[in-house]
Amino acid sequence: MKKSSVHYLAYGSNLHPARLEARLGPVTCLGKVALPGWRLCFDKRGSDGSAKANLRAAPGTGQVAWGAVFRLNRAQYAELDRFEGAGRGYETFWLDLMLAGREQAALTYLSPSHWLTDNTQPYDWYRDLVLAGARYHEFPKDYCAAIARIPAVEDSDTKRAARQNSLLGSTGCAGRGDREEDEKQARKP
């Protein structure tokens, strides 16, 4: 018998519920999770020519990525596959993680090596959307500061940038105003 819902691990632009709900309708956030042995990168080549978020395994390094787990129904999961380009840039991956003290399996999207790039930057609105989601879930300040320091470029598609920035504005945490505070926090001993 198929489950009626799936747990989805968001770590990038879908972290903020406003972004995810704009795509899928109402979702339930089950909580934030630390992902020891993983690191957040902006190295996935997007179809728009910019870099997108990706998780990379980093075993034995002491690195920790952060994410949020959402419960999606099957229709939402199918729609998310479409948005994320499953099979065309991201591949689905099941990850075992600890959520509220219990081991859970959650689906996420990782980029295979042939979609990776190290010479492309994210758009500023995209980086700021990831940062807004990290702040929303109250990820550690040094983690937020590291996201704020990611170099980004301005999107030449001004209509797309305006649409995305309006979503950021509707979240109440547009990502820009606290960047200096994030960087100060990251420099503290």
Is residue 35 within 8 A of residue 143, CB to CB? The reply is no
Q: How large is the average pLDDT for residues 183-187?
A: 48
pLDDT confidence tier of residue 189, bands split at 50, 70 and 90: very low
Please state, as a whole number, how many other Cβ atoms lie within 10 Å of the Cβ of residue 147: 24
pLDDT for residue 173 is more than 80? no
Is residue 38 within 8 A of residue 67, CB to CB? The reply is no
pLDDT for residue 43 is more than 90? yes
Q: How large is the average pLDDT for residues 42-60?
A: 94
pLDDT for residue 168 is more than 80? no
In this structure, what CATH number is given to the domain that contains residue 87?
A: 3.10.490.10
Question: In whole numbers, what is the pLDDT of the chain averaged over residues?
Answer: 88
SS3 for 57?
A: strand
pLDDT for residue 184 is more than 60? no
How many domains is the chain partitioned into structurally?
A: 1
Range of the domain at 108: 5-187
pTM exceeds cut of 0.85: yes
User: To the nearest whole percent, how much of the chain has pLDDT over 70?
Assistant: 87
Give CA–CA dist 156/83, Å, rounded: 21
Higher-pLDDT residue of 178, 60: 60
Give CA–CA dist 8/181, Å, rounded: 30
pLDDT for residue 92 is more than 50? yes
pLDDT for residue 124 is more than 50? yes
